[in-house]
Structure 1
Amino acid sequence: MPTDSQEVVFAAVGDVHGHMNRMVDHLRHQAEVLRRPFDFILQVGDFEPHRDEADLATMSAPAKYRQLGDFAAYHQARRRFPWPLYFIGGNHEPYGYLDTHPEGFELVRHCHYLGRVGVVDLHGLRVVGLSGIYQEESFRVQRPPLSALGSVSTKAFTYFNERDVEQALELGRADVLLVHDWPSGIIAPEDSAGFQGKRRSPNADTVGNEYARLLVDALQPKLVLCGHMHRSYRGSVHHASGRTTQVRCLASVEQGLDAFGLFHFRGDACSETLLDR
């Protein structure tokens, strides 16, 4: 944790879907309003860092959503990320590229993939990430090797499995946890009507997955960040230990400022600042 005299300020970003330019423009504006640079950026999956059409072909998505996006300009050093950015994988990623380094790697300067399961210390904050989404049929089986691309569905690469969750649990603790899909059981009763019949939520009880929630309960982070559902939501989880976890769900960059969050850590305290609109 940062000391009481040290403040860490970072931004969180929801699903980017290849719109890196739009993301950077929004963040530049918020940094100007803040009058200080961000210490780093955290991103919760569906980043879509496609270098070329070959990468795009390894992403699982309907044809109408297969867009090359902005990342090629960053990979070719025609544009740059102004601050260090750390992202996890979602269910729409070029896993043919990312799984060449399942432990995580730096794609270009200031752009880091945390891997299938990753942990990084950022200014005294321990950030843990789990890539992918949950599917019951895939949870207890091994992911196909990259050599199977072309002979198995690209969807097979989008799921986390039991070993991934075990590895995340072995990390012991986190200050910030990144998951793509929401943890289950975070929707307050008074908010449940707003999830009835919505995207990926026939009702509030079906939102999220139990394994993301297991990580929240085990690692007891101060803050959980997630995306996937393309909507903004704030919740909390109260633990028997007396600790409380803030859960911040972020919309997609195409939806505007609901895709962004601005967070301050000082000592053991975490707070969110409302963004300038």
Structure 2
Amino acid sequence: MIVNIAFEGCCHGELDEIYQSLQRLSVPINLLIIGGDFQAVRNWRDLNCMAVPAKYYRLGDFHDYYSGKKKAPITTIFIGGNHEASNYLWELYYGGWVAPNIYYIGAGNILNFDGVRIGGLSGIWKEGDYYKGHFERVPYTEGTKRSIYHVRQYDVLKLYQVSERVDIMISHDWPAGVEQCGQLSELLAKKKYFKSDIDNNALGSPPAMSLLRRLRPRHWLSAHLHVKYAAIVRHEPRSQRNNAVTDHASQMTEYFSQLPKAGNADEITVDIDDLPTTADGAVANNYTNEDEIAIESYNGQDANMIEASNSQKVVTDSVDDKINLDEGNLASAAPILEYQVDTPVSFDEDTISGRPASACPKSVVGDTATGPTENTTDACGFTETRFLALDKCLPRRNYLQIIQVRTQEHNGAHKLCYDPEWLAITKAMESYMSLDVQQPELFATSTERERLTRDISDAREWVQKNIIQLSKLEVPNNFHRTAPPSHRDDSSMNTAKLQPTQYNNQQTQDFCDLLGMPNRIWREPGQ
């Protein structure tokens, strides 16, 4: 079966335009992946939980999908970025439907869609918050409004337990050092102000690069920096894997404790993050970003771009294996990336590289960085990872990519399903998550690592018996509204200066019940 997957960079509330762009293609899209800054704003009060200056508040398109006025025409999954209604996403920490047919991956997750194994890590890297617990709750301060979307070590270590091959991995910010694996001079020609961060090893996320090395996915997709960029990360052969499933945990903890300061990854030099922040309430829906720097459309060696009917750009990347072209229509003018998904391979534990996080696993220079190459698999995953970052949804920007996947699934149902290995990891590691400012040190002793190994093994057996054998892997369509929706002409916009209360989302309770674990995401008022 062929699965057509579209990847879009930063959303920034422009759902209508994204769906309209996809519907103009002749190739039917089965799944849409959005790389963050989704902005699932249900009402005007949610805007007070999003880290943007008040003068940029806008309701966006999402509230129409949340209220039921519109329905997403394509199954959509997204990760969280650094411009989100964080109060709503926290309700669905483990993942869930934010609206019918639109699924938030959660803080970290592995999902299956028609045989394609897709992983995601929400948020962005900032070292000062990396070792903290998930302590933030509404009402947010200006500080916690930002710290809540900073990646936590706990969520990274959960993904580090994944041992079966991942086809597509998504993060909002780029893996640290990945810019060295593509045409860096062309990137700097488009984004000159990146040079300082690159020179200081401060561009991108060290935990994301660590995961890229560990998981070796077929594709790694990112957004955040508002530029299209392609690269190939070629992986060096690995030695015989250690049999201890969590040896990497202590190695990873030591590895990150030695990292240099990574700078302030929150702030993009010319984006709205750098503007003064106030809390003086919602403003009218007349959003324009006068600080946005206009860039000419790029048509370099690593991209082929074609004009859409409304001057939008659909971007495809020639870094991949096979090009399918049919003359005479929009979809055919955009080459489609195609590859084969084989049966996932289980393997024993990996060890983390000792190289600095800013170093690319294997630098690729010259035309080889953007030319088609053969990507094979071994017992450790793929031999190379195809990195692609895209822009945000604006006219004449490179924000869409189509990936065509051949899978061994033949039912044509296009269902989103839980991943058995991830369910086991989540169940086994739930007790390690801190909801306080301090996160106790994770896997500090060999005894703790051995215990986790046993717990994951026991959880795999539990999942097999209580979920797989009972045919409960399909993600249920259990969306329901929590907060009331607003509308663009809602008069409440003039009084919605207060933050909302936190809501108890039944989807999170259902997920916790599925795994037989407590729901600690919801706290009664006053707790």
The verdict on a shared fold, with TM-score over 0.5 as the criterion, is yes
1:214 pairs, out of 210, 215, 221, with: 210
Aligned-pair distance for 1:155? Answer: 0.4
- Aligned-residue CA RMSD (Å): 2.0
TM-superposed CA distance for 1:256, in Å, is 4.3
Structure 1 pair 168/201, CA: closer, same or farther in 2 (3 Å)? farther
1:85 aligns with 2:76: yes
Q: What residue is the counterpart of 1:258 in the other structure?
A: 398
Aligned twin of 1:202: 196
How far does the alpha carbon of each residue in 1:171-230 deviate from its partner, in whole angstroms, 9 at most, with x for none? 234110010001122224773234446355535454312111111111111001100000
Whether the aligned pair in 2 keeps the contact of 1:10 and 1:263 (CA below 8 Å) is yes
Q: Provide the secondary structure at the position in 1 that maps to 2:38.
A: coil
Letter in 2 for 1:232: K
Match of 1:226 in 2: 222
Kindly report which structure 2 residues correspond to 1:148-227, keeping only aligned pairs within 5 A, or say none.
149-150=140-141, 152-172=143-163, 173-188=165-180, 191-196=183-188, 198=192, 202-204=196-198, 205-227=201-223
In the alignment, residue 158 of structure 2 is paired with which amino acid? Q
Aligned residue for 2:24, secondary structure, equals helix
Deviations 1:143-181 (A, max 9, x none): 323245248530011101111110111123411001000
**How big is each residue's C-alpha offset from its partner over 1:230-260, in whole Å with a ceiling of 9 and x where there is no partner?**
0001111111247111011010011445110
State the shift of 1:267 in Å.
Answer: 5.3
Tell me which of 378, 387, 409 is aligned to 1:247.
387
Aligned-partner SS, 1:214: helix
Distance in 2 between the 1:128 and 1:96 partners?
Answer: 22
Structure label with greater radius of gyration: 2
Separation of aligned partners in 2, 1:155 and 1:203? 21
Say if 1:45 and 1:151 are closer, same or farther in 2 by CA, change over 3 A. Answer: closer
2:13 to 4, 15, 18: 18
Distance in 1, Cα, partners of 2:148 & 2:40: 16
Deviations 1:42-73 (A, max 9, x none): 11100101010111111111223321111111
* Native 8 Å contact 1:15 1:45 kept in 2: yes
Tell me whether 102-111 or 186-195 shows the greater mean CA deviation: 186-195
Mapped contact 1:195–1:203 kept (Cα < 8 A): no
Q: TM-score, normalised by structure 1?
A: 0.87
| Whole-angstrom distance in 2 between the partners of 1:124 and 1:190 | 29
- Measured in 1, the distance between the counterparts of 2:182 and 2:66 equals 45
Q: Matched residues, percent identical? A: 26
Larger mean CA deviation between 81-90 and 241-250 belongs to 241-250
Q: Distance in 1 between matches of 2:383 and 2:123?
A: 27
Q: Tell me whether 182-191 or 241-250 shows the greater mean CA deviation.
A: 182-191
The residue correspondences of 1:75-154 to structure 2 (distance < 5 A) are: 75-147=66-138, 149-150=140-141, 152-154=143-145
- Worse-superposed segment, 173-182 or 145-154: 145-154
Q: Give unmatched runs, 5+ long, in structure 1.
A: 1-5, 269-277
Task: Name the amino acid aligned to 1:39.
Answer: N
TM-score for the superposition, normalised by structure 2: 0.47
**Does structure 1 conserve the Cα–Cα contact (< 8 Å) formed by 2:50 and 2:145?**
yes
What letter corresponds to residue 20 of structure 2 in structure 1?
A: D
Q: Distance in 1 between matches of 2:203 and 2:81?
A: 16
1:16 Cα shift?
0.7
SS at match of 2:7: strand
- Between structures 1 and 2, the one with greater strand share: 1
* Range 81-90 or range 247-256, more displaced: 247-256
Contact 1:61/1:92 (CA < 8 Å) preserved in 2? yes
- SS of the residue corresponding to residue 166 of structure 1 reads helix
Specify the alignment match of 1:236 in structure 2: 232
Kept after mapping to 1: 8 A contact 2:115/2:407: no
> CA 1:203–1:157 in 2, change beyond 3 Å: closer, same or farther?
closer
**Pairwise CA distance, 1:29:** 1.1
Gaps of at least 5 residues in structure 2 are 238-381, 409-527
Alpha carbons of structure 1 residues 190 and 137: separation in structure 2 relative to 1, 3 Å: closer
Q: SS of 1:187's equivalent? A: helix
Report the AA paired with residue 220 of structure 1: R
Alpha-carbon distance in 2 for matches of 1:187, 1:65: 30
Q: How many matched pairs?
A: 259
Deviation at 1:9, TM superposition (A): 1.1
